[in-house]
Amino acid sequence: MNTLSTYNIMEAAVKFGIRKVIFASSETTYGVCFADGEVKPDYVPVDEDHPTVPHDAYAMSKVCNEATGRSFQARTGADIYGLRINNVIEPHEYAQNFPAFMDNPALRRRNIFAYIDVRDLGQMVERCLQTDGLGYEVFNVSNDDMSVGISSSEVRERFYQGVPVRREMGPDETFYANDKAKRLLGFAPKHSWREVL
């Protein structure tokens, strides 16, 4: 259903002359989130060049939707942007859920220790609507900081031993890189759990 509905929406959009389609992809495309057992990223921080090797039907459908978007863009020249959205958090969930993440950072391993505030996700969609001419692109969507209280160096030591680090990282920096969205779209996340807890 996920793949069929995405195909139909893109087909209808281009037939009616709509020149921009923004669709929801997922963090699951990288094969970490819903894998059987523990799967580590090939490198950190995880950017859009990281291989997409899904382990479950949902993630497979998202990778298929990305291929569909690329094909429609090649055929029509429309702007088609896919958003690899990380774990969406609503404001009330900071006080509700994040204390457990502080006590047990391993709870966030499957989300690559990242999150996206729903308000910043809205900003990301707005930035896509306001930015024309990129053709086909996929973007990671995350906040700038991690969803755990330990430092990035401690996350690497406890959970990512042996995983190559592509560049120097800030002490609280997300492992789910959002640099591309900042560079190409002007995305600027404004919200953090650290304002609440």
Q: How far is the C-alpha of 89 from the C-alpha of 59, rounded, in Å?
A: 20
**136-141 and 79-85 beta bridge pairing:** parallel
pLDDT at 103: 98
Q: Domain ranges in the chain? A: 2-195
pLDDT digits (tens, 9 = 90+) for 2-56: 899 999 999 999 999 999 999 999 999 999 999 999 999 999 999 999 999 999 9
pLDDT digits (tens, 9 = 90+) for 166-196: 999 999 999 999 999 999 999 999 999 999 9
pLDDT at 1 over 90: no
Nearest to 142 by CA among 118, 163, 159, 109: 118
pLDDT at 20: 98
Q: Check whether the bond before 45 is cis (ω within 30° of 0).
A: yes
Task: Provide the greatest CA pair distance for the chain.
Answer: 52
pLDDT at 135: 98
pLDDT digits (tens, 9 = 90+) for 62-117: 999 999 999 999 999 999 999 999 999 999 999 999 999 999 999 999 999 999 99
2-195 folds as Rossmann fold (3.40.50)
Tokens standing for 23?
A: 């669709």
Against a cut of 0.85, is the pTM above it? yes
Q: Is the distance from CB of 174 to CB of 114 less than 8 angstroms?
A: yes
Distances (CA, A) of 123 to 91, 133, 142: 15, 19, 11
